Structure 1
């Protein structure tokens, strides 16, 4: 009697582990991009930082610039969840207070100072800029579904489409405004706050998001 042939080699990764590997690659890519620039960073360096080969990195991402996608997308996911849970008839500022109290991962992974540096790179690095804009292009339908569910409307309703576009534009504008502000304008106190656990940067990012989302929500009930 011949024994059944079992599967040999490394067992397949679970979806949770694949997600975590993607995040590890993303964090390593961000650190290298910020420290050395995109052009000077290679797939081999990104892989080496997380104990993988460049070939494995390319199995997860088609390009080195796309490695940061999970960090951009994570921030989108937190807002989508917020829009879905925002109770109809409740003022946005009250809902935002409850949302921020729970400690949402607004930055989508790395600390706020690194996020600021990464988003600044999207202004000068065309490859990163393309990934940044594509993330928001793909986010808009998710915002529409969340707002449609909240309002009891079909996702393709024109009112939903417009509101989703407003929130999408507000989120991107807020993060870019936060990232591209003149660093010297923050003053010495802001720099000290960022170095000591980044509380000032976190508060500034939250305040900017609050202002932008409140502006976008005018007329949305």
Structure 2
């Protein structure tokens, strides 16, 4: 995480192109060899910062999506100011802003969310008693993932951070939007709650009305 913090600081101050892996390693107090042991590129150095944020979201959902299995109850935890108080907010904001114009950082940002989708599928499966491989679960995980990504991006680019909503509120708002698309009171075949309304089987294609050509 110290390497990630220093990487974002240097990228924001000097630009990604002019910041070298040697600069990041020196600022973090490690050797360049050590840096390359953990990261594939200088842009990858920011990955722990993104992973920490996704882990925070996962832990909050797991902690509050128990008992009644209510997704709405899990979302409500993000309104708590203490939810994101321990996160490196300024570094995250700088990173997301930089990722808009820096392809290398954007790739890391999107890859982190791609990897998170499977984690969110596990969380949804645990909260609803279904398999993480269920198509509906995977679709729900994708919706959840997209909502979180858009919420953070929207929060980061607000011109007046003092007047804008805090990160926790932005996350909660985005998740409430997702909740409107989820169905929390119907039951799937396995007895677990099914959030997304999908048909049990895909519709069969219509049969052709004329005979195929010989």
Same fold (TM over 0.5): yes
Q: Normalised by the size of structure 2, how large is the TM-score?
A: 0.77
User: How many equivalent pairs are there?
Assistant: 181
**1:47-76, Cα deviation, whole Å (9 max, x unpaired):** 111211212111111110000001011111
Q: Which runs of 5+ in 2 are unaligned?
A: 185-214
CA 1:120–1:99: 2 relative to 1, 3 Å:
closer
Alignment pair present for 1:61 and 2:23: no
Equivalents in 1 of 2:51, 2:169: separation in Å? 20
State whether residues 51 and 112 of structure 2, in contact with CA within 8 Å, keep that contact through their aligned partners in structure 1: yes
1:139-158 to structure 2, matched below 5 A, reads 139-158=116-135
Deviation, structure 1 residue 146: 0.7
- CA-atom RMSD in angstroms: 2.1
CA offset digits 1:159-192 (Å, max 9, x no partner): 11111011000000001111123x1xx2xxx5xx
Question: Which of 177, 194, 213 does residue 215 from structure 1 map onto?
Answer: 177
1: CA distance between counterparts of 2:78 and 2:96? 24
Distance 2:78 2:152 in 1: 18
Q: CA deviation at 1:91?
A: 5.8
CA contact 2:78–2:168 (8 Å) conserved in 1: no
Q: Is the 8 A contact 2:78 2:172 kept in 1?
A: no
In the alignment, is the contact (CA less than 8 A) between 1:170 and 1:216 conserved in 2?
yes
- Give the alignment's TM-score, normalised by structure 1: 0.75
Residues 55-204 of structure 1: pairs in structure 2 closer than 5 A: 55-85=33-63, 86-87=65-66, 88-90=68-70, 92=72, 94-98=73-77, 100-101=79-80, 103-105=82-84, 109-110=87-88, 112-181=89-158, 183=159, 186=160, 190=161, 193=162, 203-204=165-166
Q: What is the alpha-carbon distance in structure 2 between the residues aligned to residue 154 and residue 122 of structure 1?
A: 34
Check conservation: 1:119, 1:179, Cα contact below 8 A. yes
